[in-house]
């Protein structure tokens, strides 16, 4: 069942960033997360890391932050500690939505009951989860606000995904998708788009049904693209591919923070929040996964369409004053850089098209993690 929502008096911020571990010789993933975590815990006990679904992944977790600069600084410290451990082990760090050629059959799952349950239940599809994302938590003051804000955020789903799409390759081929991770992850029975609930009680009833019917009685949660995180009193936005660098990550965290607070303020003013029909939300998700920043998206219930890049440009201007108030104007402004340069899938695909190999794309993506910024 859905636990009691621990209300957050302020729109606090928390970020989780999933990072893969790479063999510098083969450029394949390596199951050394346990070793990395052990070294970091020994040398930097203040750093919060989590072992993730696969043994090739570590998750950087911030504390409860007041703004984007604080969250980014927290991640920067954690990344420095993880990089130090990776250097000792002779491995590199990888940030992307998925890996372009690693064989999922050779990547072991972490030792954790809920992870084993997912594999046992989902079999082939569950074992393919060589994917990484960014999860952004924003504090919400009352549970009655959660679902109106989530439903409004769904209208911006393609915007958040297109900025971070970075998983064009899979099994050695170019899938033609900007975010193949998005298509893979929704195969899990507990993952995908959330229903557009109208009240908190509907969510409570839904979680009761999921538990009683055996859907989550072992895993304990629904892995929805946006979901309430009752323990923390937050909305958790899980749309984005993992970025290869901290600079692009800060842009999408700023946009997420601003959107949640923007919709919360609209509720304060008694203004109607935007919404889309579920089938339009589904279509927009697919379009962003397929086309990334080249997506033409549905923007209202009348089915009008606009280019997502035009939408993002206007969002930066519209949210600018709020971003100043939230101390993330600079980070929100980095969206313009992404629109001009292109997202992670552009950079990986260009190297693959030029060389016919994903090796150079893996190397460049690892370089971007080290440099903390995108490299053209």
Query: Residue range 268-272: average pLDDT?
Result: 98
Identify which of 336, 228, 307, 331 has the alpha carbon closest to the alpha carbon of residue 1.
228
| Residues 22-33: tens digit of each pLDDT | 999 999 999 999
Q: Looking at residue 108, what is its pLDDT?
A: 63
| Residues 296-319: tens digit of each pLDDT | 999 999 999 999 999 999 999 999
The phi, psi pair for 170, rounded to 5°, reads -160, 130
Is the residue at 97 inside a domain? yes
Q: Is residue 206 within 8 Å of 195, Cβ to Cβ?
A: yes
> Is residue 219's pLDDT more than 70?
no
Query: Residue range 196-208: average pLDDT?
Result: 96
Query: Residue range 279-303: average pLDDT?
Result: 98
Q: What percent of the chain has pLDDT over 90?
A: 85
d(CA 223, CA 144): 21
| Residues 118-174: tens digit of each pLDDT | 777 777 777 777 899 999 999 999 999 999 999 999 999 999 999 999 999 999 999
d(CA 212, CA 252): 36
Is the residue at 1 inside a domain? no
> Is residue 112's pLDDT more than 90?
no
d(CA 5, CA 46): 27
Q: Is residue 374 within 8 Å of 346, Cβ to Cβ?
A: no
The per-residue pLDDT of the chain, averaged, comes to 94
Identify which of 227, 248, 230 has the alpha carbon closest to the alpha carbon of residue 75.
248
Number of separate domains in the chain: 1
Is the residue at 335 inside a domain? yes
Domain that holds residue 306: 13-371
Identify which of 196, 194, 153 has the alpha carbon closest to the alpha carbon of residue 315.
153
Is the residue at 5 inside a domain? no
pLDDT band at 115 (very low <50, low <70, confident <90, very high): low
Spell out the residues 6+ positions from residue 57 whose beta carbon is closer than 8 angstroms to its own.
18, 19, 20, 21, 33, 51, 132
Q: Looking at residue 111, what is its pLDDT?
A: 60
pLDDT band at 361 (very low <50, low <70, confident <90, very high): very high
Query: Residue range 222-250: average pLDDT?
Result: 97
Is the residue at 298 inside a domain? yes
Q: Looking at residue 42, what is its pLDDT?
A: 97
> Is residue 113's pLDDT more than 60?
no
| Residues 55-90: tens digit of each pLDDT | 899 999 999 999 999 999 999 999 999 999 999 999
Is the residue at 6 inside a domain? no
What's the CATH number where 347 sits?
A: 3.30.590.20
Per the DSSP assignment, residues forming a β-bridge with 17 are 60, 134
Per the DSSP assignment, residues forming a β-bridge with 228 are 235
Q: Looking at residue 312, what is its pLDDT?
A: 98
* Helix %, strand %, coil % of the chain (to 5): 50, 15, 35
> Is residue 1's pLDDT more than 60?
no
Q: What is the DSSP string of 82-138?
A: HHHHHHHHT-EEE-SSB-SS--GGGSPBPS-HHHHHHHHHHHHHHHT--B-BEEEEE
* pTM, full prediction: 0.96
Is the residue at 376 inside a domain? no
Helix (H) or strand (E) holding 168: none
Lowest-confidence region among 24-28, 113-117, 285-289: 113-117
């Amino acid at each position: 069942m859905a636990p009691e929502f621990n209300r957050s008096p302020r729109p606090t911020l928390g970020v989780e960033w999933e990072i893969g571990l790479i063999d510098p010789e083969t450029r394949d993933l390596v199951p050394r997360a346990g070793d990395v975590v052990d070294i970091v815990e020994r040398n930097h006990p203040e750093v919060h890391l989590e072992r993730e679904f696969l043994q090739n992944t570590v998750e950087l977790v911030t504390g409860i932050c007041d703004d984007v600069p604080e969250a980014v600084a927290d991640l920067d410290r954690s990344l420095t500690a993880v990089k130090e451990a990776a250097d000792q082990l002779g491995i590199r760090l990888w940030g992307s939505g998925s890996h372009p050629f690693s064989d999922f059959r050779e990547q072991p799952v972490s030792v954790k009951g809920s992870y084993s349950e997912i594999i046992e239940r989902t079999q082939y599809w569950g074992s393919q989860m060589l994917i990484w994302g960014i999860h952004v938590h924003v504090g919400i003051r009352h549970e009655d606000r959660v679902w109106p804000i989530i439903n409004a955020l769904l209208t911006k789903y393609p915007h958040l995904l297109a900025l971070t799409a970075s998983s064009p390759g899979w099994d050695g081929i170019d899938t033609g998708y900007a975010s193949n991770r998005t298509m893979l992850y929704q195969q899990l029975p507990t993952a995908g788009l959330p229903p557009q609930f109208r009240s908190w009680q509907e969510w409570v009833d839904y979680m009761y049904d999921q538990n009683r019917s055996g859907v989550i009685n072992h895993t304990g949660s629904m892995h929805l693209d946006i979901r309430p995180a009752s323990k923390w009193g937050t909305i958790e936005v899980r749309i984005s591919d993992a970025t290869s660098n901290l600079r692009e990550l800060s842009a999408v965290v700023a946009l997420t923070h601003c959107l949640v607070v923007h919709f919360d303020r609209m509720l304060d003013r008694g203004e109607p929040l935007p919404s889309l029909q579920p089938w339009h939300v589904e279509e927009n998700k697919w379009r962003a996964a397929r086309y990334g920043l080249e997506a033409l998206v549905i923007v209202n219930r009348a089915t009008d369409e606009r280019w997502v890049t035009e939408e993002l440009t206007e969002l930066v201007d519209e949210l600018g004053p709020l971003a100043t108030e939230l101390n993330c104007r600079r980070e929100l402004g980095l969206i313009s850089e992404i629109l001009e340069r292109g997202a992670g899938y552009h950079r990986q695909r260009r190297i693959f098209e030029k060389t016919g190999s994903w090796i150079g794309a893996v190397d460049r993506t690892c370089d971007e993690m080290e440099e903390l910024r995108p490299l053209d």
